[in-house]
Structure formats: C-alpha cells, structure tokens
Structure 1
Amino acid sequence: MRLEDYLQPEFVIGELAAESKSEVLAELVAKIAAGLPGFDAKRAHQVLLDRESLGTTGIGDTVAIPHGKMESLEKIVIAVGRSLKGVNFDALDFKPCRIFFLVLAPEHVAGLHLRILAHISRLLSDESFRHAFLSAENDAALWQVLTAAA
C-alpha cells in the first residue's frame, strides 16, 4: 500500500493557516475540493465534524488522523497538513497537533478504509518519520518525505 495511490501532491499543505480544529478540517477539505471536481466540501466538513463529536481523532504525539465516509465519493482520498505552531485538536495526550492526515472514503470500502488508517497510524508511530515530516523545508520536500516512507 502506497500513500500516493490516494494522496496527490496538491493535497499536501506544508504550512496550515488554521488555528482551530474546525479550521484545520476546512482547510484540508478545501484543498481536496480545489483538485477534485464535484467534491462537496461543505458536506465533507460536516462529516468530519460529526466524526469528531464521537471522539477526537487527535491520537497524541502531535498527530491527528481525522476521517469519515461520504456516499458521494468514488474512491478514498487523503489530504495531509502540517502546522508548525500546533493546533488544539483535543488530542488524547492534551498536546497540540502538528501533523494531520485526513482520510475520506466512500461508504462501500470499509475494509480498505481501515487498512489505510492502520497504515497511516503505523507510519506516524515512527519517530524518525514524524521528525522528517516536521523538518521538511517546503511542500516539495514534504511530498518527498511522504512518498519515500509509504
């Protein structure tokens, strides 16, 4: 499984402007909407907020993996963002999140959706990957980190 099968370079944000959980979700969703014709950004944002209301996707160690399902999607899509200053994402360890992997999946691909979430989780459990991710100088370098590690 390779991230670039579901992630495009234009869906990577090396410097999120967002300062809240809702803003992070909106900024990542906007990137997808800009590159995916017919994508319903408003609906995606609401799906993600609804998922967050069930429990935070801020898993700790500066990482959040917001995710949800949308019936209108044809395939899984991933957006990645980085906040150099950190955002309060109600993380399990109560620390700000700096690394965000947003995963949206169609309703009918539950197994693949779970495998992708597990793959991302394993990748982000690697301290050297997190360090390289946070140290990348620009979006192109961040893309290199993402594709080299996947």
Structure 2
Amino acid sequence: MKISDLLKPNALVADLKAKDKNALLEELTDALARVEKGLDRKLVVDVLKERERLGSTGIGDGVAIPHGKLKNIDHLMLSFGRSRDGIDFDAMDGRPAHLFFLLIAPEDSVGVHLKTLARISKLLKNPQVRERLVQAADGGEIYRIIVDEENNL
C-alpha cells in the first residue's frame, strides 16, 4: 500500500496551528474528517490519546506518526501535517516534531498497518526529504514531494 494511495491532498495541513500534542491530534483528525465522511472525531482523538499514553509516537528527527485502530472501519486512513515551529511530541531525541503522519487502521488489521508505518518511516528517514517537506511552499508542493519520493523507495 503506497502512502500516496492513502493520503488525499485535502487531508494535508501545510501550516498546522496546533501548539501542543493534543491540539495536533485534533487538528489532524479534523483534516482526516474532511475526506472520510462520517468519521467519529471524538472517538478518533480518544484512540490517538490512548495510544500516546502507552508511549510517544514521536520517532525523532522532527517526525511523529500518531496512529491507532478503530472498530467499524474497513480501510486505512491517513492525514499529514507540517509545523514550521515544531511541537513537543515527547520524541526519543527530545527535539520537537515538524512532520506528522496520522494513521488510523481497522481494528483487525495487522500486516498492512505495520507495513504502512514502515513505509512512512522509510520515506522520512532521508534527511533531504524531511528538509524538502519542511521548506515546501504549500500543500501542493508537499504532496508532490511525498509522491515523487515514494516512487524512489
């Protein structure tokens, strides 16, 4: 499953307004709800907060991949956000996160959920890709970078 197959341009936030983890989870859930009609916002945010209580999804190098699983959905859902200022996400390296992929998976998914997390991690492992995403002018450019770089994986 390709990231570009899951991420719709309308679920991308080029300039996040959030200043903390909880606000970020809400803002990216709202972005997801723009393309996933009928999504239960409160349930999604609660699932994400519960996952964060287990351990931060801030993986370091300015990246966080908040994720969770929901009953009653039948496909993966993805949104993306960028914070130029950065948000403290309790990352392993202690630095703020600037790039966020929010992934919601069906409760019974295992393989495809993990493969998608791994694909996102692989994409953002490259420091040049991270820098290009942070410096991109707008959401359209961010989306093009993700598509182009994913084709190089």
Question: By the TM > 0.5 criterion, same fold?
Answer: yes
Query: What is the percent sequence identity of the aligned residues?
Result: 39
**Structure 1 partner of 2:100:** 100
Bigger shift: residues 51-60 or 31-40 = 31-40
- Name the structure 1 match of 2:111: 111
Deviations 1:123-149 (A, max 9, x none): 111111101111110011111111111
CA deviation map 1:4-40 (0-9, x unaligned): 2111000111000000000001000001112211111
The answer on whether the counterparts of 2:58 and 2:89 sit within 8 Å (CA) in structure 1 is yes
Q: Which residue of 2 aligns with 1:11?
A: 11
Q: Does 2:34 correspond to 1:34?
A: yes
Aligned twin of 2:139:
139
CA distance in 2, matches of 1:35, 1:64: 21
**SS of the residue aligned with 1:53?**
helix
In 2: Cα distance, 1:109 partner to 1:5 partner: 17
> What is the rounded CA distance, in whole Å, between the counterparts of 2:114 and 2:74 in structure 1?
16
Contact 2:14–2:81 (Cα < 8 Å) also in 1:
yes
Cα distance in 1 for residues equivalent to 2:33 and 2:41? 6
TM-score with structure 1 setting the length: 0.97
CA distance in 1, matches of 2:85, 2:71: 34
**Is the CA contact (8 Å cut-off) linking 2:19 and 2:87 kept in structure 1?**
yes
Structure 2: which amino acid aligns with 1:3?
Answer: I
Q: Which residue of 1 aligns with 2:84?
A: 84
In structure 1, give the amino acid aligned to 2:77. Answer: V
Contact 2:2 2:116 in 1 (8 A): no
TM-score by length of 2: 0.95
Match of 1:72 in 2: 72
Deviations 1:47-100 (A, max 9, x none): 000000000000110000100000122200110000000001111111111000
Structure 1, gaps ≥5 residues long: none
Count the aligned residue pairs: 150
Segments of structure 2 that go 5 or more residues without pairing to the other structure are: none
